[in-house]
Amino acid sequence: MGDDKRPTIRLSRSIVGKAEADAVSSVIIDDGYLGMGRQVRAFEAEIAAYLGVPAESVCCVNSGTAALHLAAQALLKPGDEVLVQSLTFVATFQAISAAGARPVACEVLHGSATIDLADAEKRLTAKTKAIMPVHYAGYPGDLDAVHAFAKRRGLRVIEDAAHAFGGDYKGKKIGSFGDVACFSFDGIKNITSGEGGAIVTGDPAVLSAAKDARLLGVEKDTENRFKGARSWEFDVKRQGYRFHMSDMFAAVGRVQLRRLDSEFAPARRKLAGLYRSSLSGVSALKMFETNPESVVPHIFPVRVLDGKRDALRESLKNAGVETGFHYKPAHLLSFYGGGSPKLPVTEKLWAELLTLPLHPGLTPEDVDYVCDAVKKFFK
Ligand SMILES: *Cc1c(COP(=O)(O)O)cnc(C)c1O
């Protein structure tokens, strides 16, 4: 049934062009400095202004995983436990274990794929020190309840907001309130810097720990580099990494940030809205709970009922439509328990999940085409 001349509809892709290329070119040709300097400083200030937080509250690093890792390292000691949903990108788990802490896999709510606090409650131990909610597809779920849960138990909250840049929660930007939020700017996220990520927090201890740790633990190296200087005489008091962002990448991110509210967010909302209205009558498909006005949808996962997921995926593939699975639950991976303990809700979801194409390069006609192909399959 595929139209041979129709290009494959991709699941996701980077939307970058001449403005980003010009920005990189200017860093290479005009500045000739590719390390962490004035572009990163400006990107941090612009992210802060966008979120409405002080400029020093943002720490840019070279990936979202690095952001989560440094946030975890700043707050946790080896052996501490972190409550985290199993249904997430493996980066979330890797960041926790990289910091020496233990990710404790929790169930998600079936309707939203956000962390199930009743299940998390059962997994609390004396070693539990933090909870890491994942804003699945951009939707933060009941974040107030997560904070209330954490407050009652004396836990820190590290938001994996990799999907959620640009979104709001109750009228406030994700990352502008709460404890610690981590974003990803990898190639296909709501905005990209090529690769990159950011920690945003009002906690000065986390900020100074992360800012030092991104530069091999060299104390106050961030301040020096932002002045165009190097640190030659310094102390190191913690484990550090080469996790800083490069000026080339920040230059891309700065252009993307300017395009977010004018282009990317409205396009993502519009396309996700088309999916929702077009697929709402398909009884074999269930869509996830969201808040269409406040979320910038990062992906468009659906649940396919009655064991038809793989057949639908095959049929869409034949129609030239790429699909994906977000995500293989981390507790099923050998390194994180190999399927033990059992998480029945998460495992059921895993068998139902299918992600349909969503990125700002799609047209409404593309989404219609995907929806028609889905409907044809169920007819
Ligand atoms: C993308 C992503 C990350 C990691 O970000 P990178 O920039 O790719 O390292 C973490 N968590 C989730 C849920 C993600 O989607």
State pLDDT tens for residues 295-317. 999 999 999 999 999 999 999 99
My answer on whether 150 and 78 are in the same domain is yes
Pocket test for ligand 1, best of 12, 61, 65 (most atoms within 8 A of CB): 65
Name the burial class of residue 10, with classes exposed (0-12), middle (13-18) and buried (19+) by CB atoms within 10 angstroms of its CB.
middle
Q: Which of 255, 290, 316 is the last residue of a domain?
A: 255
Across the chain, what does the average pLDDT equal?
96
User: Which residue is closest in CA terms to ligand 1's atom 7?
Assistant: 64
Using pLDDT thresholds of 50, 70 and 90, give the confidence band for residue 357: very high
Active site residues: 189
Assess whether 191 and 225 both reside in one domain: yes
Residue 317: the pLDDT is 98
Separation of 91 CA from ligand 1 center, angstroms? 6
Who contacts 115 (Cβ-Cβ below 8 Å, separation ≥6)?
83, 84, 85, 106, 107, 108, 109, 131, 133, 134, 141, 146
Closest residue CA from atom 14 of ligand 1: 162
- Residue 163 Cα, ligand 1 centroid: separation in angstroms? 8
pLDDT digits (tens, 9 = 90+) for 256-283: 999 999 999 999 999 999 999 999 999 9
Res 2: pLDDT: 47
pLDDT bracket for residue 3 (50, 70, 90) = low
| 1 falls within a domain | no
Q: Which of 68, 184, 214, 252 to mutate to test the pocket of ligand 1 (most atoms within 8 A of CB)?
A: 184
Q: How far is the CA of 50 from the centre of ligand 1 (A)?
A: 21
State which ligand 1 atom lies nearest to the alpha carbon of 186.
Answer: 7
Q: Does 4 reside within a domain?
A: no
2 Cα to the center of ligand 1, angstroms: 33
Ligand 1 centroid, distance to 89 Cα (angstroms): 6
CATH of the domain at 175: 3.40.640.10
Report the nearest atom of ligand 1 relative to the CA of 136.
Answer: 13
pTM, two decimals, is 0.97
What local confidence, expressed as pLDDT, does residue 4 receive? 59
Q: Residue 253 above 70 pLDDT?
A: yes
User: Is the domain of 323 the same as that of 178?
Assistant: no
Amino acid residing at 298: H
Q: Are residues 213 and 277 in the same domain?
A: no
Residues 207 and 264 in one domain: no
* Domain that includes residue 368, residue range: 260-378
- Residue 150 and residue 296 in one domain: no
Same domain for 118 and 143, yes or no, is yes
Percentage of the chain exceeding pLDDT 90: 97
So what's the pLDDT on residue 6?
A: 82
Q: pLDDT tens for residues 239-251? A: 999 999 999 999 9
Residues 227 and 285 in one domain: no
Residue 290's CATH number? 3.90.1150.10
* Token pair recorded at residue 355: 């992600």
The answer to whether residues 264 and 354 belong to one domain is: yes
Chosen domain end from 194, 223, 255: 255
How many domains does the chain fold into?
Answer: 2
Ligand 1 center–CA 297 separation, angstroms: 15
Greatest Cα pair distance in the chain:
71
Is residue 224 situated within a structural domain? yes
| Residues in contact with ligand 1 (CB, 6 Å cut-off) | 63-65, 88-89, 91-92, 134, 160, 162-163, 184, 186, 197
Which pLDDT band, with edges at 50, 70 and 90, does 1 fall under?
A: very low
The pLDDT tens digits for 118-169 are 999 999 999 999 999 999 999 999 999 999 999 999 999 999 999 999 999 9
CB 253 within 8 A of CB 191: yes
With respect to residue 115, please indicate whether it lies within any of the assigned structural domains.
Answer: yes
Nearest CA, atom 13, ligand 1:
89
Inter-axis angle of helices 204-213 and 64-75, nearest 10: 120
User: How many other β-carbons are positioned within 10 Å of the β-carbon of residue 171?
Assistant: 6
Domain boundary among 255, 276, 293: 255
Of 25-34, 59-68, 225-234, the poorest mean pLDDT is in: 225-234
Query: Would the pLDDT of 212 be above 60?
Result: yes
Nearest atom in ligand 1 to the alpha carbon of residue 163 is 15
The pLDDT score that the predictor gives to residue 5 is: 72
Give CA separation, 228 vs 174, 223, 237, in Å. 31, 9, 23
* pLDDT tens digits along 44-96: 999 999 999 999 999 999 999 999 999 999 999 999 999 999 999 999 999 99
